[in-house]
Structure 1
Amino acid sequence: MLFTLYKRGDIWWYQGTHEGKRHRGTTGVKRRDEASRKLIEIQERILKESEERKSGEKLTFTRAAIFYRKAGKPLRFVEKMEDYWGETLVSEITPGRIKQAAVEIFPKATGATRNRHVIVPTQAIINHAASLDLCAPLRMKRFKVETKTKKPATWEWVQEFMKHSNPHLGALCCFMFLTGARVSEAVDVRWSEVNFLTSKVLIRQTKVGKERQAHMPPELVKALQAIEGEREPEGKVFKYSSRHTVKPQWNKVFRRCNIEYLTFHSCRHGFATTLLHRGVDPITVAKLGGWADAQLVFNTYGHAMRDETLTNVLVTNPDTAESHKVVKLNVNKVVSGKE
């Protein structure tokens, strides 16, 4: 590596070649001694980038995945990507090839599915290797995702569902709504993780690879105590092996009675939406429900707050709240022509 300094105006610039590639740029300083120190830093950076490229040229995806697993990272969808990329060199896995793989693996899926199952795990494994200086980081755009308005469950809906379901299924529904747990997390809860004395339950968040202690409101404690029976400490609370065994029983409830069909996730959606409507800030909602990012909570669930009259709370207090109701009632009478 041979680099030299030269002056353009008042500023010192550098130029030189390394491994057949020409490098040229400004040091951004006017003094020769400062420019020399800058040049040393620039040369070290170029050497490091060169070594990273060499490592990346030999690193296979399988090897990168091993480092990822050893670091205790979330393994959701990782195995499928390991099978697909196998011994492919990381240096050969480009954004274009990853998108092509997503379409090939999921030809009829939505952009969200392709992102979640292919792009996210592939990029996570490569970028973890990059953090170890084994390859260059991978940046890419994801498939466009159409945002769908989710229907949130309400406490009234949950109570109606519980009336028409068996005790375990009803308690499961109640659990998801009052803790914000995903269905896969809920069915994995053991009795040893439920503490009735402190009203706490341990929830293993499989999606983000973390654990959290969730509070159990009195209504949830009552629902769980109703199915406690002769429990086994390490036995599952709800006795379902997975979300797939819950699904048939869930669907039967709607065939038996006349209540609106909602999905498992509507309970988690209702948890966030209800708290936001009650004035709880997104940061607190994210913490209580196990979301990694408060901005995600706001972007996903904030749309539910559409009542323009909510701005009344800016000037409403306990002494004037009733007067606001009266004013609104009188306005409605005038508009309807009844007064």
Structure 2
Amino acid sequence: MPLEIYSRGNRYWVRGRTDGLDGYIERSLKTSDIQVAAAKVAEIERKARQRAILGSDAPTEEDELTFAAAVVLYDAKPADAGYLLKVIPEIGKMRVKDIKPKLVRDLGKKLYPAAACDTWRRQVVTPICAVINNAHQEKGTPPIRVKAYTPAERQAQDEIRGKQSRKKKTPGSWDWLDKFRDEANEYMGALALFMFTTGARVGQSVLIEPKHLELRNSRVWLPPSKGHPGQWVDIIPEMVAVLANLKARNGKVFGYASRHSVYGPWQTACKRAQIEYIAPHAAGRHGFGTETVVRQGVNPVDAAKAGRWSSPRILLDTYAHSEESSANVRDAFTRGRQSKSAKSRQVKIVK
């Protein structure tokens, strides 16, 4: 029997035999639009005829998968979806198997000529690779791996833009936090204290609800968010007292619907306090890393575990910021020389 379109629930299905060698098929067309269903059936028949004529030389479904079709297969987060909308006009019609790493690396400069290499990586390379590698899992198309931009490439692009990328972050501190909290509202102040003393990310912190508090045991359940697992976080006595007196707002402990609603009030508080603007992530997670390891001398292994880093190396490389100049290193050599000289003078010469 020829291919027949029929409805099952709110979706159209196809069943029957093609003119090719596929045998009997019956599967969902994954649409509730009859015109779309008809177009899909026509494409099934076209490919079947092609396989019947070309035999083993006929391109497979994997060979013909376009990048635009691969995007449909990928469950993109809202931010990635926005980035992909700018990418599709450039490579949407290309077959996935024809997209090479160099093309992907060069596309960032074409789309965002005035942006930093890190922006190219985040908004072009990463989402494209995610789509292609998802297609590899779903359809068996070739995977892709794109090498990172080198320091020399980043420097060259920074010279073109006239700006320095990867500027050193200023971590939060107790002094900065106290001034910030004096001008912030109680919810913003509590949020800042929580992130600084736990290393929590702002995206996870705003998800905390009253049911997540266990103040008798001095701990808070940090909900999972964007690949970060949920887990219990110990809090200091001052944080316990603040949370005990903070009335929930909009069903959330800190009262903010999402991390995006935090930045405006945060900037306002910094201006009112007449202090340097330090973004929430730097004030919180970077502040936690620097306060524990650099200022208080906490063992990096213990600090990494408490701050939920996968390894102490990540904490030390990215989040623990040195606050001393090279003078302290020079002073160490001077002290070493003086100690050496003193010991030499104490040596008795035996004749």
Report the TM range for the smaller structure's normalisation: 0.5 to 0.7
**Alignment pair present for 1:245 and 2:264:** no
The separation in 2 between residues aligned to 1:66 and 1:284, in whole angstroms, is 43
Return the match for 1:101 from 96, 100, 107: 107
Q: Secondary structure at the match of 1:210?
A: coil
Quick check: 2:136–2:142 contact (8 Å CA) kept in 1? yes
Quick check: 2:83–2:127 contact (8 Å CA) kept in 1? yes
Quick check: 2:129–2:144 contact (8 Å CA) kept in 1? yes
Q: Which amino acid letter does the alignment assign opposite residue 77 of structure 1?
A: A
Query: Residue 149 of structure 2 corresponds to which residue in structure 1?
Result: 143
Superposed displacement of residue 149, structure 1: 1.6
Once the two structures are superposed, the pairs formed by residues 251-262 of structure 1 within 5 Å of their partners are 251-262=267-278
Q: Secondary structure at the match of 1:259?
A: coil
The separation in 1 between residues aligned to 2:225 and 2:67, in whole angstroms, is 23
Superposed displacement of residue 279, structure 1: 3.3
**Alignment pair present for 1:80 and 2:82:** yes
The separation in 1 between residues aligned to 2:60 and 2:228, in whole angstroms, is 32
Q: Which amino acid letter does the alignment assign opposite residue 299 of structure 1?
A: D
The separation in 1 between residues aligned to 2:93 and 2:223, in whole angstroms, is 32
Query: Residue 217 of structure 1 corresponds to which residue in structure 2?
Result: 236
Superposed displacement of residue 300, structure 1: 1.3
Q: Secondary structure at the match of 2:103?
A: helix
Query: Residue 185 of structure 1 corresponds to which residue in structure 2?
Result: 204
Q: Structure 1 residues 118 and 287 mapped into 2: Cα distance closer, same or farther (>3 Å)?
A: farther
Alpha-carbon displacement from aligned partner over 1:36-68 (angstroms, at most 9, x marks no partner):
xxxxxxxxxxxxxxxxx9664233445545665
The separation in 1 between residues aligned to 2:77 and 2:309, in whole angstroms, is 18
Superposed displacement of residue 177, structure 1: 0.7
Q: Structure 1 residues 80 and 249 mapped into 2: Cα distance closer, same or farther (>3 Å)?
A: closer
Return the match for 2:289 from 237, 252, 272: 272
Q: Structure 1 residues 251 and 77 mapped into 2: Cα distance closer, same or farther (>3 Å)?
A: closer
Once the two structures are superposed, the pairs formed by residues 15-164 of structure 1 within 5 Å of their partners are 56-61=62-67, 64-65=70-71, 69=75, 75=77, 77-83=79-85, 84-85=87-88, 86=92, 88-130=94-136, 134-144=140-150, 145=154, 146-164=165-183
Quick check: 1:179–1:271 contact (8 Å CA) kept in 2? yes
Quick check: 1:61–1:82 contact (8 Å CA) kept in 2? no
The separation in 2 between residues aligned to 1:195 and 1:310, in whole angstroms, is 45
The separation in 2 between residues aligned to 1:312 and 1:218, in whole angstroms, is 38
Q: Secondary structure at the match of 1:197?
A: helix
Q: Structure 1 residues 259 and 245 mapped into 2: Cα distance closer, same or farther (>3 Å)?
A: same
**Alignment pair present for 1:166 and 2:185:** yes
Q: Structure 1 residues 153 and 290 mapped into 2: Cα distance closer, same or farther (>3 Å)?
A: same
Q: Secondary structure at the match of 2:176?
A: helix
Once the two structures are superposed, the pairs formed by residues 313-332 of structure 1 within 5 Å of their partners are none
Superposed displacement of residue 209, structure 1: 4.4
Query: Residue 309 of structure 2 corresponds to which residue in structure 1?
Result: 291
Alpha-carbon displacement from aligned partner over 1:286-308 (angstroms, at most 9, x marks no partner):
44334345433222134526477
Q: Secondary structure at the match of 2:230?
A: strand
Quick check: 1:176–1:186 contact (8 Å CA) kept in 2? yes
Q: Structure 1 residues 108 and 206 mapped into 2: Cα distance closer, same or farther (>3 Å)?
A: farther
The separation in 2 between residues aligned to 1:198 and 1:305, in whole angstroms, is 34
The separation in 2 between residues aligned to 1:263 and 1:254, in whole angstroms, is 10
TM-score where L is the length of structure 1:
0.63
Q: How many pairs align?
A: 257
Q: Which amino acid letter does the alignment assign opposite residue 292 of structure 2?
A: L
Return the match for 2:318 from 275, 293, 300: 300
Superposed displacement of residue 266, structure 1: 2.0
Name structure 1 gaps, 5 residues minimum.
1-52, 314-323, 329-339
Q: Secondary structure at the match of 1:119?
A: helix
Q: Structure 1 residues 140 and 197 mapped into 2: Cα distance closer, same or farther (>3 Å)?
A: same
Q: Secondary structure at the match of 1:202?
A: strand
Q: Structure 1 residues 275 and 165 mapped into 2: Cα distance closer, same or farther (>3 Å)?
A: same
Quick check: 1:202–1:214 contact (8 Å CA) kept in 2? yes
Q: Structure 1 residues 163 and 279 mapped into 2: Cα distance closer, same or farther (>3 Å)?
A: same
Q: Structure 1 residues 68 and 292 mapped into 2: Cα distance closer, same or farther (>3 Å)?
A: farther
The separation in 2 between residues aligned to 1:174 and 1:93, in whole angstroms, is 47
Quick check: 2:188–2:266 contact (8 Å CA) kept in 1? yes
Superposed displacement of residue 179, structure 1: 1.8
Superposed displacement of residue 107, structure 1: 3.6
